Amino acid sequence: MLLPAFEYHRPTGLAEAFEVLDHYAGKARVLAGGTDLLVNMKRKTVAPKQLVGLERVAELLGVRAGNGRIEIGARETAARLAGAGGIARDLGVLAMAAAKLGSPQVRNLATIGGNLCTARPAADMPLPLLVLDARVVLAGSAGEREVGLDAFFAGPGQTVAQPKEILTKVVIDRAEPGTGGGFVKLGLRRTLEIALVNAAALLTLDVDGKTIKKARVALGAVAPTPIRAPEAERVLLGKVASDELFAHAGEAAKQDARPITDHRGSATFRLEMVSVLTRRALHQAWENAREQ
Amino acid sequence: MKKHPIRLNVNGTEYDLLVAPNRTLTQALREDLGLTGAKHGCGVGDCGSCTVLLNGAPVNSCLVLAVQADGSNITTIEGLAEGTSLHPLQTSFIEKGAIQCGFCTPGMIMSAKALLDHSDRPTAREIREALSGNLCRCTGYQKIVEAVSDAAENMSRGGRKES
Ligand SMILES: Cc1cc2nc3c(=O)[nH]c(=O)nc-3n(C[C@H](O)[C@H](O)[C@H](O)COP(=O)(O)OP(=O)(O)OC[C@H]3O[C@@H](n4cnc5c(N)ncnc54)[C@H](O)[C@@H]3O)c2cc1C
Ligand code: FES
Ligand code: FES
């Protein structure tokens, strides 16, 4: 499969990248890891005439902690995030999801910014970031804005980012003590598989080590965008954690999902899996929270 | 399409190339440099037959533009043997019968090499995980896993084995 023709721009910094994007009036596309865009260009589903490579833009690299926040550069790869050991309590749930994305080779290329901007309903990294209440920073020549991830996705393949904007970083708050996360992905085979359903959970336990002070659940592949599961969260809040409670939350999560039937699975099957995966992700989160 | 000058260090040798933007790293290696070890299979990241090490990390070279790789170090299967002495992975793949048609082998060995660069005695599970992005239509994987495990053992017992 050959790539169609295009012009390639290699800015060495963000300011220069914005200039190129402005010059082509938003018709130029940004290229990060290429694992999504180059595949689509080979399949001829998209044919941008201008590509702006981010490989020399160093401002988009690095994971920084400070002021109670953690900032993740948009070009950090799934492989690097899967191994983000130092800030495990905060980024553990993201690491779990990043480790399940694609294959080792894909993880070495695929970036967090690219995974968010593709806005695939089944993408893996949006879920941990939704339960972490992450925000993304969208920047352009006119300045930058911070958008909550729950308001970032607009539909399958669509986000609120303007064509002239670059997603520069993902921002999360540092986790409170007693916080743990879980991530579960169901595919038709173990690796190299886009999820049939995936789920992430985050629980913060009270000082008593039992009562759920904060609960977050996110689901993928069961709606036009990755979603939070407010019904499931409501069941959990303020209760004493237990596997029975997680089973209730799993049932409740079905009300949050709007799955479709496609060649990979029926809506009914997906709904059942929503409850199973929610329960499992919560159990994992609970175990991790108790270890903190 | 405006071509771009790039410099690649491939298997320890510096190359200066002028590449069209839509040239993939697989094409640059195979067609411009004549290094046909990395195979072109699916072209979309599924099969792993085009795997090379980019600054030490295995990647699908079919999903990297040659121009994106400007300034990086690349290792291909051609870079593993030292003179006539094969890399222990190459030897054990031959000895264990882990090669049949051989199409997947260069990619398989590059993924295995990346694993052994970081881990002396990987478990069978770790080996399967490291090779999970490489498809083989011939062997059923068991012999490949054995070959990698065998190579790891030989290497930890005293470096490269003469062939
Ligand atoms: C074999 C294979 C398996 C895969 N498996 C999975 C999987 O299991 N789970 C999963 O979630 N995904 C999977 N993917 C999809 C893909 O790897 C991910 O979505 C990846 O994170 C995309 O990141 P990228 O850096 O490669 O993006 P690119 O392909 O470079 O870009 C993707 C899109 O985002 C835009 N973009 C990228 N970065 C920015 C930025 N900073 N600002 C603005 N726009 C930007 C691009 O213009 C493009 O439209 C797989 C892909 C392949 C080829
Ligand atoms: S040819 Fe690159 S992964 Fe198949
Ligand atoms: S040996 Fe034939 S594909 Fe693996």
Q: Determine whether the interchain pair A106/B114 forms a contact, defined as Cβ–Cβ distance below 8 Å.
A: no
pLDDT digits (tens, 9 = 90+) for A57-101: 999 999 999 989 999 999 999 999 998 755 656 899 999 999 999
Quick one: pLDDT band at residue A190, thresholds 50, 70, 90?
low
What integer pLDDT is reported at residue A193 of this predicted model?
62
Q: What is the pLDDT of residues A13-25, one digit of tens each?
A: 999 999 999 999 8
Mean pLDDT of the A241-269 span: 92
Q: Which amino acid is at A199?
A: A
Q: What is the pLDDT of residue A8?
A: 98
| Chain pair A-B, CB pairs under 8 angstroms | 93
- What token pair was written down for A161? 């980012």
Q: Which of A82, A151, A89 has the alpha carbon at shortest distance from A116? A: A151
Q: Is the pLDDT of residue A225 over 60?
A: yes
pLDDT tens, A264-289? 788 898 899 999 999 999 999 999 99
What's the rounded Cα separation, in Å, for the pair B163 and B161? 6
Interface contact B64, partner A, CB < 8 A = yes
pLDDT of residue A191: 56
Residue B161: is its pLDDT beyond 70?
Answer: no
Strands of the A179-186 sheet, one edge to the other? A179-186, A197-205, A212-220, A227-228
Q: Over the stretch A134-188, which tens digit does the pLDDT of each residue have?
A: 999 999 999 999 999 999 999 999 999 999 999 999 999 999 999 999 999 987 6
**pLDDT reading at B96 higher than 60:** yes
Q: Which tokens sit at B133?
A: 């992005």
Q: What is the pLDDT of residue A86?
A: 56
Neighbour tally for A176: CB within 10 Å: 13
- How much is the ipTM here? 0.95
Nearest to A34 among B2, B48, B63 (CB): B63
- Going by C-alpha positions, the residue among A39, A15, A42, A112 that lies closest to residue A71 is A112
- With a 6 Å cutoff on the Cβ, whether A101 touches ligand 1 is yes
What the block records as the tokens of A250 is 């799993």
B159 vs B1 pLDDT, higher one: B1
Residue A271's nearest CA partner among A223, A239, A234 is A223
Residue nearest to atom 3 of ligand 2 (CA): B45
Residues A133/A216, Cβ–Cβ less than 8 Å: yes
Mean pLDDT computed over A224-233? 97
Question: Across the strands, what pairs with B7?
Answer: B16
* Chain A residues inside the 8 Å CB shell of B4: 8, 10
pLDDT averaged over every residue in chain B:
95
The predicted model gives A103-119 an average pLDDT of 98
Q: Is the pLDDT of residue B86 over 50?
A: yes
Beta-bridged to residue A191, according to DSSP, are none
Residues found in chain A: 292
Cα–Cα distance for residue pair B94/B91, rounded to 1 Å: 5
Residue B162 pLDDT class (50, 70, 90 cuts): very low
Band (A263; pLDDT cuts 50, 70, 90): confident
- Asked whether the predicted pLDDT for residue A259 surpasses 90, the reply is no
The pLDDT value recorded for residue A59 is 97
Contact assignment for A7 to B2 by CB distance below 8 Å: yes
Q: Is the pLDDT of residue B62 over 90?
A: yes
Q: Which residues of B31-63 are buried (b: 16+ CB within 10 A; e: fewer)?
A: eebebebbbbbbbbbbbbbbbbbbeebbbbbbb
CB contact under 8 A, B58 and A104: yes
Give the CA distances from residue A229 to residues A94, A236, A250, A280, B23, in Å, rounded to whole numbers and listed in that order: 18, 11, 10, 15, 44
Q: How far apart are CA B39 and CA A94, in angstroms?
A: 33
* Residue A92 confidence (pLDDT): 93
- Any atom of ligand 2 within 6 Å of the Cβ of B50: yes
The single-letter code of the amino acid at A237 is L
Q: Average pLDDT for residues A177-203, to the nearest whole number?
A: 84
Query: Is the CB of B76 within 6 Å of ligand 2?
Result: no
Question: Higher-confidence residue: A291 or A159?
Answer: A159
